[in-house]
């Protein structure tokens, strides 16, 4: 509902105005009903008084000669000369009917079209069965004038009905209607003034009522876990608002405790993640170093004429990996910051070849576009990128009958692209978007930090890394570096 989306202040304002308007309408309606009831009661009482006087005059004329007990016919004869006089005295028409409803007499000024020649049988029966032998009927003549007519018996000295007298009373409400209009006009002016005052009162009262709640609401909106939150201090407030404020202040205390606890937890988690990341990065060069040393030991021949060159190459590989681990250890001591960039003008083909020589697998194939491709990069970080990508590729093809890993280096005018492709199980489309997130891994073991670290190193060197893969179709990781 629209009303539910309205602010509390507006609801209070509308409710107060609605109550004033409804009360005004109800009072006006009750006033009109009361006026109508009073007018009806006034006319009925006045007609009753007139009817009583008329019947007293008729009774006097009928029974002033006590020797005569008139019946219906004699009553009509006796009254034929007096009806006009009685009607003029009381300023009302007087009609005499027989007990069966036939008209016996009426004032001479009444036209034939303005009077019933015979009473309705229902009226005659109602008079007969009414305990007081009197009925009131609301009637309308041919000129659309409304009458309140009283019909009752005229009785003789023996209380025997001899005729029916009908007294039509014209209900003239002109004066009452005028007074009602005047009263309603004054009442409307008073209510307009009251409505104006009610609007002002409702506005300021609703503003006063909701002022504290709006203040509390603003405080709640600005409350957050990572900032210093102030408590609400209010004076002279009601119990409901005080309970709300007290709950908010208690929440602030609990929030501060939670923030301290969370900060401590985050610090511990950061150290744990850093320790895992460093362990992962150190483990990557250790394995190929171990394999290189074992291979050198097996193939060592003191009589080999090229032994010095092989020892020199072997030493260069080990020193490079030791430098990598030393850099990681130094970075860890500097609270998990990445090693600072130390860009050099490198032969990328030569550096990638040195990194690949750490791996002795026969299914690794290297395809540089040229023998020499130069760019400004950090040698140690480039080595870490290749080592991580190759380690992942070797793990991806370990269950393949004919494993194959190919490394390509392509050069454009401004960029260099290094791609590592394997024919492993591939990566699902739903996982490719998350493959570079920390701690995400599709392996049964590992901590999911290798590719996240690769992405971070690549972006630190103003490069980008993408993956193209599908289930059962292998994967290709492409690293793009600018030359400068």
Per-position DSSP letters for 218-259, written without gaps between them:
HHHHH--TTSPPPPP---S--HHHHHHHHHHHHHHHHHHHHH
Cα 256 to Cα 221, 226, 230, 264, 268, distances in angstroms: 16, 9, 11, 12, 18
Of residues 204 and 414, more confidently modeled: 414
Q: CA angle, corner 320, sides to 318 and 323, nearest 5? A: 110
Each residue of 234-257: pLDDT tens digit?
666 555 566 666 777 777 777 777
DSSP letter assigned to residue 115 = S
Strand pairing category for 415-422 and 475-482: antiparallel
pLDDT tens, residue by residue, 126-148: 888 888 888 888 777 656 567 78
Name the pLDDT band for 404 (thresholds 50, 70, 90).
very high
- Percent of the chain exceeding pLDDT 70 equals 72
Asked whether the beta carbons of 94 and 107 are under 8 A apart, the reply is yes
Sheet holding 364-368, edge to edge: 364-368, 405-411, 415-422, 475-482, 464-469
Topology given in CATH for the domain delimited by 3-177: Beta-Lactamase (3.30.450)
**Measured distance CA(152)–CA(166) in Å, rounded:** 7
pLDDT tens track for 268-314: 675 666 667 667 667 777 777 777 788 777 777 777 788 888 788 87
Spans of all domains in the chain:
3-177, 276-482
Tens of pLDDT, residues 30-44: 888 888 888 788 888
Instruction: Tokens 């990328």: give the residue.
Output: 348
Give CA separation, 70 vs 78, 97, 155, 199, in Å. 9, 15, 9, 74
Structure tokens at 128: 């007969």
Distance in angstroms (rounded) separating the CA atoms of residues 156 and 216: 89
- Residue 229 has what pLDDT? 65
Overall average pLDDT of the 8-16 stretch:
74
Phi/psi of residue 200, nearest 5 degrees: -60, -45
Give the pLDDT of residue 410: 93
Name which of 9-13, 15-19, 79-83, 196-200 the model is least confident about: 79-83
- Strand 405-411 and strand 364-368: the pairing is parallel
What CATH number belongs to 276-482?
A: 3.30.565.10
Fold match flag (3-177 vs 276-482): no
Write down the pLDDT at residue 88. 75
Cα(302)–Cα(226) distance, integer angstroms: 66
Which range is most confident: 142-151, 326-335, 365-374? 365-374
pLDDT band at 447 (very low <50, low <70, confident <90, very high): very low
């Amino acid at each position: 509902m629209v009303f539910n989306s309205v602010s509390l202040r507006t609801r209070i304002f509308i409710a107060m105005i609605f109550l004033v308007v409804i009360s005004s309408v109800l009072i006006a309606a009750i006033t009109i009903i009361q006026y109508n009831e009073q007018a009806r009661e006034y006319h009925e009482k006045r007609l009753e008084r007139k009817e009583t006087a008329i019947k007293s005059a008729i009774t006097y004329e009928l029974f002033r000669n006590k020797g005569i007990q008139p019946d219906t016919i004699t009553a009509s004869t006796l009254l034929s000369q007096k009806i006009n006089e009685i009607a003029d005295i009381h300023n009302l028409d007087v009609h005499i009917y027989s007990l069966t409803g036939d008209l016996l007499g009426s004032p001479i000024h009444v036209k034939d079209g303005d009077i019933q020649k015979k009473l309705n049988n229902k009226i005659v029966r109602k008079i007969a069965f009414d305990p007081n032998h009197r009925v009131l009927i609301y009637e309308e003549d041919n000129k659309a004038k409304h009458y309140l007519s009283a019909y009752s018996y005229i009785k003789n000295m023996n209380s025997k009905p001899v005729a029916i007298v009908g007294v039509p009373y014209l209900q003239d409400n002109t004066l009452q209607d005028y007074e009602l209009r005047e009263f309603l006009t004054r009442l409307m002016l008073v209510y307009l003034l009251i409505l104006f005052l009610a609007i002002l009162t409702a506005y300021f009262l609703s503003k006063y009522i909701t002022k504290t709640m709006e203040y509390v609401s603003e405080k709640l909106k600005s409350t957050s876990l990572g900032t210093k939150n102030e408590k609400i201090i209010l004076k002279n407030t009601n119990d409901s608002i005080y309970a709300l404020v007290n709950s908010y202040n208690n929440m602030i205390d609990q929030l501060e405790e939670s923030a301290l606890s969370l900060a401590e937890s985050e610090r511990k988690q950061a150290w744990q993640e850093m320790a895992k990341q460093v362990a992962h990065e150190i483990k990557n060069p250790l394995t190929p170093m171990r394999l290189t040393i074992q291979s050198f030991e097996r193939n060592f021949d003191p009589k080999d004429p090229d032994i010095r060159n092989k020892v020199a190459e072997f030493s260069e590989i080990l020193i490079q990996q030791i430098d990598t681990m030393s850099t990681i250890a130094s970075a860890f001591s500097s609270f998990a910051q990445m090693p600072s960039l130390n860009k050099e003008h490198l032969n990328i083909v030569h550096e990638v070849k040195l990194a690949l020589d750490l791996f002795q697998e026969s299914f690794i194939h290297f395809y540089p576009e040229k023998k020499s491709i130069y760019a400004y990069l950090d040698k140690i970080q480039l080595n870490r990128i290749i080592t991580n990508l190759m380690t992942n590729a070797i793990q991806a093809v370990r269950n393949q009958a004919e494993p194959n890993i190919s490394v390509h280096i392509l050069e454009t005018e401004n960029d260099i692209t290094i791609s590592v492709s394997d024919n492993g199980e591939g990566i699902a489309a739903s996982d490719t978007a998350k493959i570079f997130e920390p701690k995400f891994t599709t392996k049964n073991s590992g901590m999911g930090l290798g590719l996240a670290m690769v992405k971070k190193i690549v972006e630190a060197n103003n490069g980008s890394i993408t993956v193209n893969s599908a289930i059962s179709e292998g994967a290709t990781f492409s690293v793009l570096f600018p030359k400068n």
